[in-house]
Amino acid sequence: MLHAEQTIHADIHADVAVIGGGVVGHCIAWEARRSGRSVALIDDAPGQGASWAAAGMLAPVSELHYQEEDLLELMLEASGRWPAFAADLARAGAPDPGYLTTPTLAVGADAGDRRALMDLRSVQQANGLQVEPLTVREARARESLLSPAISCALEIAADHQVDPRKLVASLRELLSAHEPGAGSMVDGATGGFAVEDRAASLLWADGHVAGVKLARGGTILARETIVANGLHAASLEGLPEGLHLPLRPVYGDILRLAVPRHLRPLVTSTVRGLVHGVPVYLVPRQDGTVVIGATQREDGLSAGEGAAGAGAKSHAAVSAGGVYQLLRDAQVLVPAVSELELLESTARARPATPDNAPLLGRVPGIHGLIIATGFFRHGVLLAPAAAAICADLMDGQEDRRWEAMNPTRFSRTHPQKESV
């Protein structure tokens, strides 16, 4: 791994510079790498942002929301790519990213939750998605620790999971396996490597984006620069004039718990519940842990002002009320949650956009630049598709299906060259 200290005063040449080392950035980097391009992945805290918190549900069906049909198409495309993507990772010798085709059970707590889930099912069915109602007895035959007091259960076979922390580690290892000697990149050799630094600014030359200036000095010269650093994308220096990336943080609290041996498996399916109108999910991992999440807060609490200090800026404050709500609602669905060991409480901000769809594509008229951010709740699911779309764009192929995701759609004026 090449550390930033080594790059000071040295220009590094790569075919592709990827800004941001979360799940999305890593998938893009690997896709570019295996298309034969040399890649530099820039992040001073790789995998520590939203990817660190993500539960990793690959859930186009349960994540369907009303009036997000454009997004659904991308989610289904992404979901369809996952099996091959995971197989390719394995074939390339990557460490296990925890990809599992665990089914999902959608569960309601009360009559209102049942109505909401059945209404959603109508929309899901209208979109050709499979959602099969089970009786409570059937659901409990599969998941014996489900509460008998639930109001409904629906099976969603197509919604699976991956472990985002393992996925980042897996992709990182693949990238570093291709890593050349530290010196060779300077002369433009092919390879993939990670730069542990922050991108300070886009680098412009002759009216196009020509790479990245690093925060600690040094530059990455690249034919293509891909902005995949989540919320930080909006504050990147040197974005095209007039390009408005309306990213806002939506915070989420997430818990990791260990299941005592006598309660294993707590659940075999991912359980996505609606408890008196509030969503909660339990994702079982193969190592005997479960992930419980689903809070969404637009307020960042005391982050940065708490007694604990700001910490890394990608870290958000864990909400006591959020943790309480997660434990309360998870227990309504699976009472034995109270007997688990709480291993970790984490919070992160996800980069949301006004229409909940990502900002993904080229900025018309600007060469050498691709934007890939704003994945909100769907970054892990969408990452392989986003990576394929970026690879296509670099090959000069633009798929009209993804025009609705264009990163300029919230910009009032046509973005111009470099902003001053």
Contacts with its own copies by CB under 8 A lie at 255, 257-261, 287-289, 301-303, 305-308, 317-321, 323-324, 327-328, 331, 337-343, 345
Secondary structure of 5-49 as H, E, C letters: HHHCCCEEEEEEEEECCCHHHHHHHHHHHHCCCCEEEECCCCCCC
Q: Any idea which residue has 């006004």 for tokens?
A: 354
If the CB atoms of residues 180 and 300 are measured against its own copies, the closer one turns out to be: 300
Residue 280, number of CB atoms within 10 A of its CB: 26
Q: At its nearest, how many Å lie between its own copies and the CB of residue 83?
A: 26
Burial class (CB in 10 A: 0-12, 13-18, 19+), 72: buried
Nearest to 265 by CA among 282, 249, 279: 282
Q: Do residues 293 and 255 touch, judged by C-beta distance below 8 A?
A: yes
If the CB atoms of residues 75 and 258 are measured against its own copies, the closer one turns out to be: 258
If the CB atoms of residues 185 and 317 are measured against its own copies, the closer one turns out to be: 317
23 secondary structure, DSSP code: H
Nearest to 231 by CA among 164, 300, 170, 279: 300
Q: At its nearest, how many Å lie between its own copies and the CB of residue 11?
A: 43
Q: Do residues 270 and 161 touch, judged by C-beta distance below 8 A?
A: yes
Q: At its nearest, how many Å lie between its own copies and the CB of residue 335?
A: 10
If the CB atoms of residues 173 and 341 are measured against its own copies, the closer one turns out to be: 341
Listing DSSP states for 260-294 in one string gives PGGG-SS-SSEEEEEETTEEEEEEE-TTSEEEEE-
And the tokens for 264?
């294993």
Q: Do residues 342 and 253 touch, judged by C-beta distance below 8 A?
A: no
Listing DSSP states for 167-228 in one string gives HHHHHHHHHHHT---TTGGGGT---EEEEES-EEEEEEETTEEEEEEETTS-EEEEEEEEE-
Q: Which amino acid is residue 199, in one-letter code? A: A
If the CB atoms of residues 124 and 270 are measured against its own copies, the closer one turns out to be: 270
Q: At its nearest, how many Å lie between its own copies and the CB of residue 169?
A: 17
Q: At its nearest, how many Å lie between its own copies and the CB of residue 289?
A: 5
Q: At its nearest, how many Å lie between its own copies and the CB of residue 129?
A: 33
Q: At its nearest, how many Å lie between its own copies and the CB of residue 290?
A: 10
Q: At its nearest, how many Å lie between its own copies and the CB of residue 329?
A: 10
If the CB atoms of residues 126 and 307 are measured against its own copies, the closer one turns out to be: 307
Q: Radius of gyration (Cα) for the chain, nearest Å?
A: 22
Burial class (CB in 10 A: 0-12, 13-18, 19+), 95: middle
If the CB atoms of residues 52 and 193 are measured against its own copies, the closer one turns out to be: 52
Q: At its nearest, how many Å lie between its own copies and the CB of residue 232?
A: 22
Q: Any idea which residue has 């009786």 for tokens?
A: 135
If the CB atoms of residues 125 and 324 are measured against its own copies, the closer one turns out to be: 324
If the CB atoms of residues 260 and 354 are measured against its own copies, the closer one turns out to be: 260
